[in-house]
């Protein structure tokens, strides 16, 4: 049993077959002639043993074509992640689309409207809300820094709060030498986690991320590597050049993973975004969404699933129209492009803040997009030609038809936040905007939604792991 999510049957292609082949060949050229830096001796040794050309002094690895092709051959086109509740197990394939929430260093407090650091209680509540929302397909620690715990163990505490407060498939970021503790917590809960590792652009894997890739691969868990080149700064100014660099960086991480454990699942992830040369900030917008769509196109070229963080918005509040149009545009384009794991629910202000209201609003957008991906079913019954002929011209209507009673709910996505009554009725009902309605729904979820607790022995083991992580890190 796996979670169905949504299905992208006919993904759009931003790249032609010739363009994809050109990117592939240039990727092999860069890997062979320039290489990638891995700042971790165990990674250098295992890549050397696999046939790569390794300079241990500069930590640079150059990849012969046959090594890269061997890694691509061993990498599967699908893999599964085990959740606490088997009905939420996730299967990553070439046509399945999942939506999950975003993380950020701050929380937008919906009671005060003020940004602040998130506590363990906040993370627990946000995770419960994600657990309850039908179109949030997996959970992520909503904040990887925890205001009421030591910063050195923020990743561990955030991940523990997520595991304890959801039965859905989970993912988390690896952090700075945190992955050993994350793996132990997942094992204690009897789950697998999709753990993110990161390449630093251009062409560099830090020591902790090399360690994470190798540890996760040894567990036999599917994983993802993401890379976030900033066009014009840490990657070329051209979109094509950034697509090539992203492809090169992801390929290097995939080779390391497959060398450690051939056949382990891999997600190709990007969060590449241009730099706005007018001010030095991220140029969040259509180009970043296009880069994610292009990565999905390259992923289909290799028959490997994809994911993206590029459903970003620069808007600062859940009431800001910029948040709405940027998120709607990004989610729809990424889903149409066949990105399999779209990370973004609740995120506002780039990756700086998480809003509970926005999580609820995004959940509604995901439902609409899922309906779009479902498409229009055309057959004898849905065409309804006989009914059209029977009802005929005005004053005929279809309200009393059995066909209408059967089909209207199946054909329509029924949002819970959208207000579809008149202006007068809107005034009567309190003149609430969508953020206010989302806030009320979140409060209702917190009142009524209960997540089955972990078994007592599993919960105790997670507490032990947190204590061990704190002792090791804080005693240094």
Report the number of distinct structural domains present in the chain: 2
Confidence of residue 378 (pLDDT cuts 50, 70, 90): very high
Whether residues 229 and 260 fall in one domain: yes
Confidence of residue 476 (pLDDT cuts 50, 70, 90): low
CA angle 432, 410, 327 (to 5 degrees): 45
Last residue of a domain, one of 349, 374, 399: 374
Contacts 24+ apart (CB under 8 A), 108-116: 108/317, 108/318, 108/348, 108/353, 108/354, 108/355, 108/356, 108/357, 108/358, 110/355, 110/356, 110/357, 110/439, 110/442, 115/353, 116/147
For residue 293, being part of any structural domain is answered with: yes
Whether residues 394 and 337 fall in one domain: no
In whole angstroms, what is the distance from residue 153 CA to residue 176 CA? Answer: 10
Give percent of the chain above pLDDT 90.
Answer: 91
What per-residue confidence (pLDDT) applies to 311?
A: 87
Q: Give me the helices (H) in 303-355, please.
A: 321-336
Q: pLDDT for 45-66, tens place per residue?
A: 999 999 999 999 999 999 999 9
For residue 26, being part of any structural domain is answered with: no
Mean pLDDT confidence for 335-347:
96
More confident residue, 224 or 259: 259
Whether residues 255 and 399 fall in one domain: no
For residue 77, being part of any structural domain is answered with: yes
Residue 377: pLDDT over 70? yes
pTM over 0.85: yes
Residues 353 and 110: beta-carbon distance below 8 Å: no
Whether residues 395 and 370 fall in one domain: no
Whether residues 284 and 166 fall in one domain: yes
| Average predicted confidence (pLDDT) for the chain | 95
Whether residues 270 and 397 fall in one domain: no
Instruction: Show Cβ contacts of residue 235 under 8 Å, excluding neighbours closer than 6 positions.
Output: 201, 202, 229, 241, 242, 245, 246, 272
* Number of other residues whose CB lies within 10 A of the CB of residue 85: 17
Residue 207: pLDDT over 90? yes
Whether residues 313 and 385 fall in one domain: no
- Which of these, 179, 181, 176, lies nearest to 208 by C-alpha position? 176
CA angle 19, 23, 25 (to 5 degrees): 115
Residues 373 and 97: beta-carbon distance below 8 Å: yes
Residue 446: pLDDT over 80? yes
Residue 259: pLDDT over 70? yes
Q: pLDDT for 117-175, tens place per residue?
A: 999 999 999 999 999 999 999 999 988 779 999 999 999 999 999 999 999 999 998 88
DSSP secondary structure letter of residue 454 = P
Instruction: Show Cβ contacts of residue 148 under 8 Å, excluding neighbours closer than 6 positions.
Output: 119, 120
Whether residues 343 and 407 fall in one domain: no
For residue 222, being part of any structural domain is answered with: yes
Residue 296: pLDDT over 80? yes
Q: pLDDT for 8-46, tens place per residue?
A: 999 999 999 999 999 999 999 999 999 999 999 999 999
For residue 439, being part of any structural domain is answered with: no
Whether residues 176 and 231 fall in one domain: yes
Residue 257: pLDDT over 90? yes
Q: Where on the phi/psi map is residue 376: left (φ > 0), alpha (ψ -120 to 50), or beta?
A: beta
Least confident window among 41-45, 291-295, 309-313: 309-313
What per-residue confidence (pLDDT) applies to 19?
A: 98
Residues 205 and 36: beta-carbon distance below 8 Å: yes
What per-residue confidence (pLDDT) applies to 171?
A: 92
For residue 393, being part of any structural domain is answered with: yes
In terms of residue numbers, what domain contains 325?
6-14+73-374
Whether residues 406 and 353 fall in one domain: no
Look at residue 9 and give its three-state secondary structure.
coil
Whether residues 157 and 180 fall in one domain: yes
Whether residues 358 and 404 fall in one domain: no
Cα-based distances in Å from 292 to 285, 300, 368, 376, 403 = 11, 13, 20, 26, 41
Q: 200: domain CATH number? A: 3.20.20.480
For residue 163, being part of any structural domain is answered with: yes
H/E stretch holding 360:
helix 356-374
- Which of these, 256, 257, 198, lies nearest to 227 by C-alpha position? 198
For residue 463, being part of any structural domain is answered with: no
Q: pLDDT for 101-122, tens place per residue?
A: 998 889 999 889 899 999 999 9
């Amino acid at each position: 049993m796996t979670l169905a999510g949504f299905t992208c049957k006919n993904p759009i292609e931003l790249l032609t077959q010739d363009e994809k082949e050109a990117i592939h060949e240039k990727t092999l050229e860069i890997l062979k002639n320039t290489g990638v830096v891995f700042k971790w001796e165990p990674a250098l040794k295992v890549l050397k043993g696999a046939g790569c050309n390794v300079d241990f002094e500069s930590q640079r690895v150059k990849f012969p074509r046959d090594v890269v092709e061997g890694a691509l051959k061993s990498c599967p086109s699908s893999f599964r992640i085990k959740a606490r509740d088997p009905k939420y197990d996730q299967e990553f394939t070439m046509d399945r689309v999942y939506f999950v929430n975003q993380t950020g260093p701050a929380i937008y407090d919906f009671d005060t409207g003020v940004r602040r650091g998130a506590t363990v209680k906040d993370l627990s509540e946000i995770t419960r809300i994600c657990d309850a929302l039908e179109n949030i397909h997996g959970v992520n620690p909503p904040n990887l820094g925890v205001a009421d715990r030591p910063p050195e163990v923020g990743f561990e505490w955030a991940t523990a709060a997520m595991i304890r407060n959801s039965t859905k498939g989970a993912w988390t970021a690896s952090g700075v030498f945190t992955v050993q503790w994350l793996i132990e917590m997942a094992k204690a809960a009897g789950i697998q986690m999709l753990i993110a590792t990161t390449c630093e652009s251009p062409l560099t894997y830090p020591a902790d991320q090399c360690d994470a890739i190798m540890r996760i691969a040894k567990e036999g868990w599917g994983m993802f590597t993401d890379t976030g080149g900033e066009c014009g700064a840490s990657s070329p100014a051209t979109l094509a050049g950034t697509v090539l660099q992203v492809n090169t960086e992801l390929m290097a991480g995939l080779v390391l993973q497959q060398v450690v454990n051939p056949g382990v699942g891999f997600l190709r992830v990007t969060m590449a975004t241009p730099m706005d040369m007018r001010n030095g900030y991220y140029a969040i917008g259509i180009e970043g969404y296009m880069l994610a769509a292009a990565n999905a196109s390259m992923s289909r070229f290799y028959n490997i699933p994809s994911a993206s963080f590029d459903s970003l918005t620069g808007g600062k509040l859940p009431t800001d129209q910029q948040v709405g149009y940027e998120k709607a545009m990004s989610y729809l384009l990424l889903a149409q492009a066949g990105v399999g794991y779209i990370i973004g629910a609740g995120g506002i202000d780039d990756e700086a803040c998480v809003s509970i209201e926005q999580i609820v609003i995004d959940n509604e957008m995901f439902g609409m997009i899922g309906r779009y991906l479902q498409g229009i079913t055309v057959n004898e019954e849905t065409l309804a030609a006989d009914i059209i002929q029977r009802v005929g011209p005005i004053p005929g209507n279809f309200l009393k038809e059995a066909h209408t009673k059967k089909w209207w709910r199946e054909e329509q996505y029924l949002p819970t936040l959208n207000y579809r009554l008149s202006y007068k009725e809107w005034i009567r009902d309190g003149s609430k905007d969508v953020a206010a309605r989302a806030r009320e729904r979140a409060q209702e979820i917190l009142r009524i939604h209960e997540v089955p607790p972990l078994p007592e022995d599993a919960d105790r083991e997670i507490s032990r792991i947190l204590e061990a992580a704190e002792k090791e890190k804080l005693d240094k």
